[in-house]
C-alpha cells in the first residue's frame, strides 16, 4: 500500500453505527468502499448517505458476512467494480448476552461464526487478493474492551474479541512479507443505535469513564482510518483501545 495506490476497502456490518462511520470516514479520505450489511434496506440507505456526500465512492452488497462464499463475492465485487482491494475491515459482529452456565451451543455458534469466522475468512480472502496484486494492503479487526476486561454475561463475546487481537499479532508472521499490515481496534462503550436503547447508557458510561463520556462512532472511525492509511504503514500487529480511559480503572456499569 502506498500513497499512489487507489485505495479500495470492504467494510462489513456497515449499515449503521461504527461500521457506517468507518465507511463514511474512508470515503471522505478518498477510499472507494464496498459496504456490506446483512439487511438490504440498511445497506442501500447507508450507500445512499455516503454517495450523497462523496459521489460514486461507495457500492453496497447485502449478505451474510460469515459465509465464506459470500466473502469471496465481496472481494470479487471490489476488484470488478474498482479494480483492486487494499483494505479489509471485518466489522460485522454479534453480541449475545448470557450467563456462562446456561449459554447455549446455538448462541455460541452464532457468536463465533460471525465474530471469529467472518473476520478470519475475510482477512484470508482479502490477503490472497492483495498478494495477487502485489500492492500490499491493510487488515483491521474490530475487537472490544471486553477482550481486555471481564464483562458480565459476555464470556463468549469477549472470547471472540480477545481472539481477534491474537489473530492480528499472528498474521504479522505470515503477511508482513507481502506488505500487508494487520491491526485491531478495541472500542469501549460507544453510543450507537443499539446501545442508545439501553436505559441511561450515556449517563452510566459518562459517570464511570475517566474522560467523562462514552465514545461516538466517529471516534472509532478516525482511529480506524489512520491505521489503514499509508501514514500507518509501519504499524502492524497492534491493538488500540479506544475507551476514554475506562480499562485503566474498569468500574462496573452494573454497580
- Helix (H/G/I), strand (E/B), else coil: 91: coil
Q: Which of 161, 178, 213, 216 is catalytic?
A: 161
- Tally of CB atoms within 10 A around 202: 14
Per residue in 7-61, pLDDT (tens digit) is: 999 999 999 999 999 999 999 999 999 999 999 999 999 999 999 999 999 999 9
Does some domain include residue 248? no
Residue 161 known to be catalytic: yes
Closest to 10 in 3D by CA, of 165, 95, 123, 136: 123
Is the per-residue pLDDT at 3 higher than 90? no
Nearest-Å Rg of the Cα atoms of the chain is: 17
Does some domain include residue 253? no
Residue 28 known to be catalytic: no
Is the per-residue pLDDT at 182 higher than 80? yes
Per residue in 222-232, pLDDT (tens digit) is: 999 999 999 99
Per residue in 227-254, pLDDT (tens digit) is: 999 999 999 999 999 999 999 988 888 8
Query: Could you tell me the CATH number of the domain that includes residue 207?
Result: 3.40.50.720
Please say whether the dihedral angle defined by the alpha carbons of residues 142, 182, 61 and 46, taken in this order, is positive or negative: positive
pLDDT given for residue 2 in this prediction: 47
Does some domain include residue 250? no
Query: How much of the chain exceeds pLDDT 90, in percent?
Result: 91
Question: How many domains does the chain divide into?
Answer: 1
Instruction: Provide mean pLDDT across the span 167-171.
Output: 98
Q: Please give the biggest Cα pair distance in the chain.
A: 53
Band of the pLDDT at 199, cuts 50, 70, 90?
confident
Band of the pLDDT at 4, cuts 50, 70, 90?
low
Instruction: Provide mean pLDDT across the span 106-121.
Output: 98
Range of the domain at 103: 8-242
Contact 181, 229 (CB under 8 A): no
Is the per-residue pLDDT at 146 higher than 50? yes
Does some domain include residue 134? yes
Does some domain include residue 249? no
Is the per-residue pLDDT at 196 higher than 80? no
- Tally of CB atoms within 10 A around 242: 18
Alpha helices per DSSP H over the chain? 17-28, 40-53, 68-82, 105-112, 119-133, 155-175, 201-208, 217-227, 246-249
Q: Which of 49, 157, 178, 213 is catalytic?
A: 157
Average pLDDT score over the chain: 95
Phi-psi region of 237 (alpha: psi -120 to 50; beta: other; left: phi over 0): left
Does some domain include residue 3? no
Instruction: Provide mean pLDDT across the span 97-125.
Output: 98
Amino acid at each position: 500500500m502506498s500513497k499512489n495506490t487507489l485505495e479500495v476497502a470492504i467494510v462489513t456490518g456497515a449499515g449503521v453505527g461504527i461500521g457506517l462511520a468507518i465507511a463514511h470516514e474512508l470515503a471522505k479520505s478518498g477510499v472507494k468502499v464496498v459496504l456490506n450489511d446483512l439487511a438490504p434496506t440498511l445497506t442501500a440507505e447507508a450507500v445512499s448517505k455516503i454517495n450523497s456526500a462523496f459521489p460514486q465512492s461507495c457500492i453496497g452488497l447485502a449478505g451474510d458476512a460469515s459465509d465464506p462464499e459470500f466473502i469471496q463475492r465481496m472481494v470479487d465485487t471490489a476488484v470488478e467494480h474498482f479494480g483492486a482491494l487494499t483494505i479489509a475491515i471485518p466489522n460485522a459482529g454479534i453480541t449475545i448476552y448470557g450467563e456462562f452456565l446456561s449459554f447455549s451451543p446455538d448462541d455460541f455458534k452464532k457468536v463465533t461464526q460471525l465474530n471469529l469466522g467472518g473476520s478470519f475468512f475475510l482477512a484470508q480472502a482479502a490477503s490472497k487478493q492483495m498478494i495477487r496484486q502485489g500492492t500490499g494492503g491493510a487488515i483491521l479487526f474490530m475487537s472490544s474492551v471486553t477482550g481486555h476486561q471481564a464483562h458480565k454475561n459476555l464470556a463468549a463475546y469477549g472470547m471472540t474479541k480477545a481472539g481477534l487481537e491474537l489473530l492480528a499479532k499472528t498474521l504479522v508472521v505470515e503477511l508482513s512479507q507481502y506488505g500487508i499490515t494487520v491491526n485491531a481496534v478495541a472500542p469501549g462503550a460507544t453510543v450507537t443505535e443499539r446501545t442508545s436503547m439501553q436505559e441511561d447508557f450515556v449517563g452510566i458510561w459518562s459517570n464511570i469513564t475517566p474522560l467523562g463520556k462514552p465514545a461516538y462512532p466517529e471516534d472509532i472511525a478516525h482511529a480506524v482510518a489512520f491505521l489503514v492509511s499509508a501514514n500507518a504503514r509501519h504499524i502492524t500487529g497492534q491493538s488500540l483501545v479506544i475507551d476514554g480511559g475506562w480499562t485503566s480503572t474498569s468500574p462496573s456499569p452494573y454497580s
